[in-house]
Chain A
């Protein structure tokens, strides 16, 4: 689907699973993530065999970050709808946590729609376990859409912003 970012994020998720598998001396690990209607990631990682990735179409709805937040990336060359996760300019979340659009409450947001950003500029922060992870712009461009809300929860792989 030519979506490098979500592909990369899926790959890093799978890599993290593989690491978990190894670290905990497990032989197999299966994770299913429902990102939205017709959009899920189903991963089974097992040792000494191979990694199997498949997308499926679950019935369950996802606990999306916000009502406006769209569905998330599928690993397989599936949907090509208007799903922003499939947008080539989508920046996806590398972790589960809480989104902050500014360094502190009341401060100017890192990114606003229409603003230009340079590669490496912080566009938002995702917090988990009192760790503030700065999400850098993967490339220079203009912020076209912001798909998350300040203070809202975010899932792994969720599209955060679209930069073109």
Chain B
């Protein structure tokens, strides 16, 4: 392992960066700043006092791990905005693959990056708007860089950190540059090549493709063969009663 210094990584053009010592959560901060941002802006905090995951789930953030949120105004309908889940997952996968062997990384629908099968990161998106376009979209990314969170109970995928898995040591600020750069590339790719290309990239790194997995929606568990993701980003499972396209669920395997 080697130790890198901050601020040696390139920062993507057209994006602003705000680094805070402490904040309740970068998602909440992004929502507060949404009316005033001029350009896509990454907000990073060294510590968060009220971090949260999907549906209010606890997200533990020891210092030395990354907490950051990108806030911007894509010209996108809510359904198009939601596809950014895959862009974010691809970007995070590529950023992590710089610091550890990509053989250890895989993706779980829609935006979980797994390291040696464990949860190394979390991505959460929020948007607002009735249409046609969203008013804003925020993409929150938490990455266990140096520390594996303790006291995480009932986690379906055990927490793991980049450091514990044998990855290179990287500071949160440096890692933010890496992931911001990778994300900007994903946006450029979406613009030039369309979502199909984003989807192909995602599928090529997906865990359990062609195998049986379970998607837990608010109402039911759907078990089937993981066939693909469709052009809308839905998870497609081949079940006993035919294919099912699922827009929102937690995936287990």
Contact = CB atoms under 8 A, between A and B. Distances in A.
Contact of B110 (A23, A24, A91, A130): A130
Contacts of B247: 96-98, 127-129, 153
Contacts of B232: 96
B231 to A, nearest CB: 8
A12 B131 contact: yes
Contacts of A53: none
Interface residues of A, number: 39
Interface in A5-30: 8-9, 11-12, 15-16, 19-20, 23-24
B194 interface: yes
B56 interface: yes
A103 B124 CA distance: 13
A152 B247 CA distance: 12
A19 B132 CA distance: 12
A106 B194 CA distance: 39
B52 to A, nearest CB: 8
A93 B185 CA distance: 31
Contacts of A95: 77-79, 82
B81 A133 contact: yes
Interface stretch (B7-15, B83-91, B169-177): B83-91
B130 A138 contact: yes
B32 interface: no
A105 B54 CA distance: 11
A58 interface: no
Given A94-B77, A94-B129, A133-B129, A128 B56 contact: no
B129 A97 contact: no
B130 A97 contact: no
A11 to B, nearest CB: 7
Contacts of B54: 130, 132
B128 A96 contact: no
Contact of B124 (A9, A11, A23, A132): A132
B124 A91 contact: no
B116 interface: no
7 contacts: A16-B132, A91-B130, A94-B78, A94-B129, A97-B247, A104-B57, A129-B82
Closest CB pairs A-B (n = 10): A104-B56, A151-B218, A12-B132, A131-B82, A131-B125, A98-B248, A94-B131, A134-B128, A129-B85, A129-B110
Given A130-B54, A151-B219, 18 more contacts: A15-B77, A16-B77, A94-B129, A94-B130, A94-B131, A104-B55, A127-B248, A128-B82, A128-B233, A129-B85, A129-B125, A129-B233, A130-B123, A132-B126, A133-B126, A135-B130, A136-B128, A136-B135
